[in-house]
Amino acid sequence: MVKVSVIGATGYAGAELMRLLVSHKEVNIVHAVSKSFAGKQLSAVYPSFLSSDYLLEEMDIGIIAKDSDIVFTCLPHGASASVVPALLEGGARVIDLSGDFRYRDAKVYETWYKQTHTAQEWLGKSVYGMPEIYREHIAATALVGNPGCYTTCGILALYPLLKNGVIEPKGIIIDAKSGASGAGRSEKLANAFCEVNESVKAYGVGTHRHTSEIEQELTFAANDTVVVSFTPHLLPIKRGIISTIYATPKDGIVETDIKEAYTMYKDEPFVQVFDGALPEIKHVTGSNNCAIGYVLDKRAGCLVIVSCLDNLIKGAAGQAVQNMNILCGFDETEGLNLTGWYL
């Protein structure tokens, strides 16, 4: 049994992580930390945990590092950078769900997050936690920068196409739509039910931080600078992301080339490439799957790719557990064999 702790256990991603961990056979949760609710039971915040409850604690980095093999940090960006080094130095391995350890270049982080990175010395040692690309590096690291939700959805859809030179690296457009849990558990008016239901909005056009994370990985894939136009939208649903992606196929590309490129995922447990159909959010909700489909619109000279995932699972907590499984040498699907809910 591996001893794990969760720092930030009562945000939406943290609570989802707790939900996955309590049914993971190889895990013993030793500390569940919540700044806002320390001293209460987790079930006092989320009554759904009544039958699998934990006492929420204050954050004591020294104790947590000492007691834990793996620590998940589910903190706002910036806050993670301020505690992760001490956890690592204390001997724990860390899977960080913020944006703080996803970048190779601190300047990119500082440009998009508009703040100084306070733990730059760790950027070179952290591994970007996307198992489909970096599985072997993840297995060998002490620090995983767990990818963002939009970014996972976008990168998994585009990586094989750029890697295999099937699409042009220029002019890629990602029109992404996310459920409201992506905005976290907060009291903002913009997230109130009456402001969200029966409406949809675009936001952060041209400025959303996940753009830079997507570009970093796609640039590696293409071995050429990739600049994407990324537009996120807020949907009146609780969970799930659907990204509709527009790319220009290279000259002479036909459907079998695309299909061939996606064979990169043929042994992946959590990427489903649909054959001649498009995924919908309800096909993946509740699972750790990212489902991908595509239409080659020859008339318009455009390849349209649709990818879906559950932002709290493959887009956050599920991928974090997948990374833990890799770090610990468990079966990568342990605790993640989740058939989607559909309903």
The residue (of 48 and 116) whose beta carbon lies closer to its own copies is 48
In whole angstroms, the minimum distance from the beta carbon of 218 to its own copies comes to 13
**Alpha-carbon span 113 to 101, nearest angstrom:** 12
Q: Which residues contact 229 (CB under 8 A, 6 or more apart)?
A: 172, 173, 174, 206
Q: Which of 163, 274, 328, 332 binds its own copies (CB under 8 A)?
A: 274
- Are 285 and 338 in contact, with CB atoms under 8 Å apart? no
The residue (of 48 and 82) whose beta carbon lies closer to its own copies is 48
Residues numbered 4 to 23 that lie near its own copies (CB under 8 A) are: 12, 15-16, 19, 22-23
Residues numbered 88 to 117 that lie near its own copies (CB under 8 A) are: none
Count the Cβ atoms, other than its own, within 10 Å of residue 62: 10
In whole angstroms, the minimum distance from the beta carbon of 294 to its own copies comes to 9
The residue (of 42 and 264) whose beta carbon lies closer to its own copies is 42
Which two three-digit tokens encode residue 176?
């992404």
In whole angstroms, the minimum distance from the beta carbon of 129 to its own copies comes to 21
Residues numbered 38 to 57 that lie near its own copies (CB under 8 A) are: 46-52
In whole angstroms, the minimum distance from the beta carbon of 27 to its own copies comes to 14
Regarding 246 and contact with its own copies (CB under 8 A), the answer is yes
Host H or E run for residue 253: none
In whole angstroms, the minimum distance from the beta carbon of 107 to its own copies comes to 15
Regarding 1 and contact with its own copies (CB under 8 A), the answer is no
Count the Cβ atoms, other than its own, within 10 Å of residue 326: 22
Residues numbered 192 to 221 that lie near its own copies (CB under 8 A) are: 192-203, 205-206
Regarding 300 and contact with its own copies (CB under 8 A), the answer is yes
Determine the interface stretch with its own copies among 54-62, 93-101, 152-160, 288-296 (rule: CB under 8 A). Answer: 288-296
The residue (of 220 and 274) whose beta carbon lies closer to its own copies is 274
The b-or-e profile of 243-281 (16+ CB within 10 A means b, else e) is bebbbbbeeebeeebbeebbebbeebbbbbbbeeebbeb
Determine the interface stretch with its own copies among 1-9, 55-63, 122-130, 175-183 (rule: CB under 8 A). Answer: 175-183
β-bridge mates for residue 266, sequence order: none
Regarding 28 and contact with its own copies (CB under 8 A), the answer is no
Q: DSSP labels for 295-318?
A: EEETTTTEEEEEEEE-TTIIIIIH
The residue (of 94 and 336) whose beta carbon lies closer to its own copies is 336
Q: Which of 126, 141, 164, 272 binds its own copies (CB under 8 A)?
A: 272
**Alpha-carbon span 326 to 276, nearest angstrom:** 32
What number of CA atoms fall less than 13 Å from residue 203's CA on the CB side? Answer: 15
Q: Which residues contact 153 (CB under 8 A, 6 or more apart)?
A: 176, 241, 242, 243, 290, 307, 308, 309, 311, 315
**Alpha-carbon span 64 to 4, nearest angstrom:** 9
Regarding 256 and contact with its own copies (CB under 8 A), the answer is no
Regarding 191 and contact with its own copies (CB under 8 A), the answer is yes
Residues numbered 312 to 331 that lie near its own copies (CB under 8 A) are: 312
Determine the interface stretch with its own copies among 2-10, 58-66, 146-154, 268-276 (rule: CB under 8 A). Answer: 268-276
194 is a catalytic site residue: no
**Alpha-carbon span 301 to 290, nearest angstrom:** 26
Active site members: 149
